[in-house]
Chain A
Amino acid sequence: MTGTVIIDSGGANLASLQFAFERLGAAARVSADAREIAAAGRVVLPGVGSAADAMHRLRAAGLAQLVPTLTQPVLGICLGMQLLFEASAEGETECLGILPGAVHRLQASAARPVPHMGWNRLASSTSDPLLAGVGPEAYFYFVHSYAAPPGPFTLAPVDYGEALSAVVRRENFWGVQFHPERSAASGARVLENFLGL
């Protein structure tokens, strides 16, 4: 198994993720080909857009069956993390079911506009190779309207009026709600850690 493959789930701006890996000296290919993904050393499940759209595209490419069977390190980013759960309230979508629980819509309030857009610190974190060297002072860039509540597989929550899952892990599946490719040095550290898994 070689190289890092970014799953082409149809969202725009896969380029920013590719550029982030390039800045770390690693090439990442974008692919929707089941064989190429199965053979990759590492797999990234990105996602910008809606859960229903992304799941539709994954199913159409035969990837909704493949992804839960992968054994190499898999990293879901933002919507990609949300797809790891059983379901999403966004379009009442059935997701990959790798993690238990469902993704809900954030409730807007005067102090907490939705989308949640901005730099936040993790509320706490469990020791994990993905978060090696990431201290409590590290800020990450979040952009999302839906989120997963903290659960048994949450490594780090983030507080946005309510506690939300910022980093999750179950075996070889990791997920981050923030955008590591847009989170400056702290995000680069997470991606570098992923490349070392």
Chain B
Amino acid sequence: MTLAQRYRDEGADELVFYDITASPQGRSVDRRWVRRVAQVLDIPFCVAGGIRSVADAEAVLNAGAEKISVNSPALADPGLIDALSRRFGAQCVVVGIDSQLTAEGYRAYQFTGDPARTRESSRDVLGWVREAQSRGAGEIVLNCMGSDGVRRGYDIEQLRAVRAACRVPLVASGGAGAIEHFAAVFRDAGVDAALAASVFHDGAIAIPELKRALRAAGIEVRP
């Protein structure tokens, strides 16, 4: 809650709440908490974590979330994307993809919130991006696991390939460590938004400073 308020005041354009252990633990994100966050936030926010049905999604949206993001449950049951999109509209339905390079190319991974249960889904990332869109996803968040947590920059090459296959907004995730990484991912990969967590949580990058730098680099951002 404190973080949510801090980011709102610092000028974040959207907040995403990942309850990353929800899917591996077979539960869904806590709605009372979603409601408390919705009461104080006046920017869009997306909730992810163990949403496995239209009813799960409805509860989270009714609690005040803007969008819901599905990842592991959509890999297990791709029809979930169709059902959510039909009921709430594509603009509500984000598909998160955890992508990692394997001997066979980039593959989507499941249950990445728990290292002991993380497993490869056998789905090719580009194929999954296309399928998710045709099933009604309104946004794709691509988390590049190879660059996640190491703060050496977004995986520009992979994001660019996904951008070319993606007709809906694409959000880059994984690898942000410095202000120039954000400028690079907008400029070189053409993504619509860039997501980061740890560099904001620990104060390594301040949002107002990041936005000033992006504007100076000619990238339009909300002040």
Q: Which residues of A are in contact with B by a Cβ distance under 8 Å?
A: 11-16, 19-20, 22-23, 48-50, 108, 110-111, 113-115, 117-119, 137, 139, 141, 143-145, 179, 181-185, 187-188
Interface of B toward A, CB cutoff 8 Å: 8, 13, 35, 38-39, 42-44, 57-58, 61-66, 87-92, 138-139, 166-170, 190, 192-193, 221-223
B88 contacts which of A12, A111, A113, A115 (Cβ < 8 Å)? A12
Can you spell out 30 A-B residue pairs with CB atoms less than 8 angstroms apart? Answer: A12-B58, A13-B64, A15-B35, A15-B38, A15-B62, A16-B66, A19-B38, A19-B64, A23-B39, A23-B42, A48-B89, A49-B88, A108-B167, A110-B190, A113-B167, A114-B168, A115-B90, A115-B91, A115-B138, A115-B169, A117-B139, A118-B169, A119-B222, A145-B90, A145-B138, A179-B44, A182-B43, A184-B42, A184-B43, A185-B42
Tell me the smallest distance from the CB of A112 to a CB of chain B, in Å.
10
Q: Which residues of A contact B64 (CB under 8 A)?
A: 13, 15-16, 19
Are B170 and A113 interface neighbours, CB within 8 A? yes
Q: How far is the CB of A185 from chain B (nearest CB, A)?
A: 8
- Whether A117 lies near B91 (C-beta < 8 A) is yes
- Give the Cβ gap from B78 to chain A, nearest Cβ, in Å: 20
* Chain B positions within 8 Å of A20 at CB level: 42
Q: Are B91 and A145 in contact (CB-based, < 8 A)? A: yes
Measured CB to CB, the closest approach of chain B to A192, in angstroms, equals 12
